[in-house]
Amino acid sequence: MRIRKAVLPVAGLGTRFLPATKAQPKEMLPIVDKPLVQYAVEEVASSGIPMVVFVTGRGKQAIENHFDVSAELEQELAGRGKEELRRQMRSISGMLRFAYVRQQNPRGLGHAILTARDVVDEEPFAVLLSDDVIVNEPPCLKQMLKVFERYECSVIAIQRVPHQTVSSYGVIRGHLVDEPGWEKRLYRLEDMIEKPSPQEAPSNLAVIGRYILTPTIFEALSATTPGAGGEIQLTDGLRRLLAQERVYGYVFEGKRYDAGDKLGFLQATVEIALQRPDLGRAFRKYLRSLHL
Ligand code: G1P
């Protein structure tokens, strides 16, 4: 079984970044000079998955345009002798194949995934939430594919978070899989709960926005009723899936930024800028000059 498709839900309203997101998708907010959503698409490409299915909505056309060829821009750049930049622009659209489905009502992450059902069809697939920017080589998704290739079950990215922050996440209960090769990173899930209070939370192992799912999830989601926040939650669908199939949680290697949050977005911006070969030195010098 190969994973050939990655679903990227991008229909959310982005209210946490208003007014910046009043007339543009939050997924297009740039970290340094690259839109958030491009980080996720590049992770898909470098994990060897050839196709992205965007679950999009009203006001998100900028995302489609971003991953399409812009003949005018390319012509303009070529005319000005900016060949390298022209090549970079072309590589964005040539990176992968893209498909778009519309989620007509924002009814939650689980509902967004269900919207992609006809395009994904009866095969396992990946899901990436572009709010979670994860920097690592090999990429988080590629690490998870190794688990999938070994067990052919659904795999969820997990990370230990401070206990008082569990209510921002799906949280798992599970036990460590004591098999060689996983360096105590692999958990077999027993249960999970969406956005629990610290008292309710079964652990501090939080779900991060990377999933590999078997197509059984579609049946599970069809039977799922609205949960936390009145939305159809992927976590609740996964809970149903757990009753039928094994599901693994993988503590991935890498630094994760919550770019859906203002502070997390700023942290990602600063740290990613510091790592950039073209900016890092000058930016570090500037930060030092602030004497914070
Ligand atoms: C979603 C999921 C949640 C997960 C989180 C990771 O929540 O519902 O289970 O822990 O992504 O970022 P959201 O951040 O969309 O509220």
Give the position, in ligand 1's atom list, of the atom nearest the Cα of 12: 15
pLDDT digits (tens, 9 = 90+) for 188-246: 999 999 999 999 999 999 999 999 999 999 999 999 999 988 999 999 999 999 999 99
User: Using alpha carbons only, how large is the chain's radius of gyration in Å?
Assistant: 19
pLDDT digits (tens, 9 = 90+) for 150-197: 999 999 999 999 999 999 999 999 999 989 889 999 999 999 999 999
Q: Which CATH number fits domain 5-260: 3.90.550.10, 3.40.228.10, 3.20.20.70, 3.40.50.300?
A: 3.90.550.10
- 260 CA from centroid of ligand 1 (Å): 10
Q: Which residues pair with 192 in a beta bridge?
A: 172
As a whole number of angstroms, the distance between CA 47 and CA 31 comes to 21
pLDDT tops 90 at residue 91: no
Token code pair at residue 56: 């999009």
Q: What is the mean pLDDT of residues 121-135?
A: 97
Residues in contact with ligand 1 (CB, 6 Å cut-off): 109, 129, 131-132, 169-170, 194, 206-209, 233-235, 260
Best residue among 113, 132, 173, 207 to mutate for probing ligand 1's pocket (most ligand atoms within 8 Å of CB) is 207
pLDDT tops 90 at residue 85: no
Question: E-assigned strands of the chain?
Answer: 5-9, 30-31, 34-35, 51-56, 97-102, 125-128, 132-135, 154-160, 170-176, 186-194, 205-213, 247-251, 255-258
Domain segments of the chain: what residues? 5-260
What global pTM score does this model have? 0.95
